[in-house]
Amino acid sequence: MTGPDAPDALRATGLGFRYRARGGWTLRDCEFTVPRGRITALVGRNGAGKSTLLHLAGGLLRPETGELQVLGTTPGTPQARARVALLTQEKPLYPRFTVADTLLLGRKLNSSWQQAPAEQIVREGDIPLHARVGELSPGQRSRVALALALGKRPELLLLDEPMADLDPLARGEIMATLMSEAAEHGTDIVLSSHVLPEMEQTCDWVLLMRDGRIELSEDADELRESHTVLTGHADQDGALAGQGVVHSRTSGRQMTALVRRHGPLRGDWHVERPRLEDILIGYLQADAPARPAPAERTEAA
């Protein structure tokens, strides 16, 4: 179901989770919404809770507190499993199976299975269908795992660092495949990755995590429009009072600041529009959360 009345791709309310053996909370008080029709960048430092969030959305884990909904349903239920595909970092495959056996398994387990796109992803990587999975390179196994996920024709595709094992050329090919999937079939995609530049042209929604909480959940274009990179003399930092200073650095007498604007700027600044990568790095570098004013927040956590 798509359109203005369709349920959100993801919606969390008071979401929390902890691995009891580790102590402490991996996720705490997460509140966010990801609307339908988006390619979402899930960004955060190592240990921020990205994989845990995707595992919860995929139904592999259950929340300790709060609620998480995927496509208006509860993760892990038959309704959700039929509509959601999760590709984890581990990419669990049967090493003794051939690639053809693996795709056959996908067909038998999924009523919505489409063989052609699954085989296309495999063939684009020059992977023989008769090859055994355990004899493939890590990058080739990543392609086979992605073929399984896309062959299912999911409405929501959750990808946890899916291309870490791929060379730059293969990464570009896979990203093009994902973009095509989203455009042609309306597939919602949530992509966790540390390669921020590849998010710039592909992702139109941002989920940024810090220390187990959601710091940003917003439209990528709106983030670009509302943020500014300012460069000027360091002694005018007081002119930034009232602005949302996300991160700043001083070198000699010059200061550079990433700012979320709240009203007109004061002072003598060189103003640049930041890339999405600049904004994400700024929030990840920030010593403390720099949250936008309530009036300017739309889908922020």
DSSP per residue over the chain, as a string?
Answer: --STTSPPSEEEEEEEE--TTT-S-SEEEEEEEE-SS-EEEEEE-TTSSHHHHHHHHTTSS--SEEEEEETTB-TTSHHHHHHEEEE-TT----TTSBHHHHHHHHHHH-TT--HHHHHHHHHHTT--TTSBGGGS-HHHHHHHHHHHHHHT--SEEEEESTTTTS-HHHHHHHHHHHHHHHHHH--EEEEE-S-GGGGTTT-SEEEEEETTEEEEEEEHHHHHHHEEEEEEEGGGGGGGTTSEEEEEEEETTEEEEEEE--S---S--EEEPPPHHHHHHHHHH-SS--PPPGGG-SS--
Where does residue 22 fall: left (phi above 0), alpha (psi -120 to 50 degrees), or beta otherwise? Answer: alpha
Summarize pLDDT for 219-272 with one digit per residue, the tens. Answer: 999 999 999 999 999 898 888 988 999 999 999 999 999 999 988 888 899 999
The superfamily (CATH) of domain 10-211 is: P-loop containing nucleotide triphosphate hydrolases (3.40.50.300)
pLDDT band at 4 (very low <50, low <70, confident <90, very high): low
Instruction: Say what the pTM is.
Output: 0.87
Pairing state of beta strands 254-260 and 244-251? antiparallel
pLDDT band at 3 (very low <50, low <70, confident <90, very high): low
pLDDT of residue 301: 30
Q: What's the chain's average pLDDT?
A: 89
What gap in Å lies between CA 121 and CA 135, rounded to an integer?
18
Summarize pLDDT for 57-89 with one digit per residue, the tens. Answer: 999 999 999 999 999 999 999 999 999 999 998
What gap in Å lies between CA 234 and CA 256, rounded to an integer?
8
What gap in Å lies between CA 17 and CA 130, rounded to an integer?
41
pLDDT of residue 25: 92
Query: Residues 99, 84: contact at Cβ < 8 Å?
Result: no
What is the chain's alpha carbon radius of gyration, rounded to the nearest angstrom? 21
pLDDT band at 26 (very low <50, low <70, confident <90, very high): very high
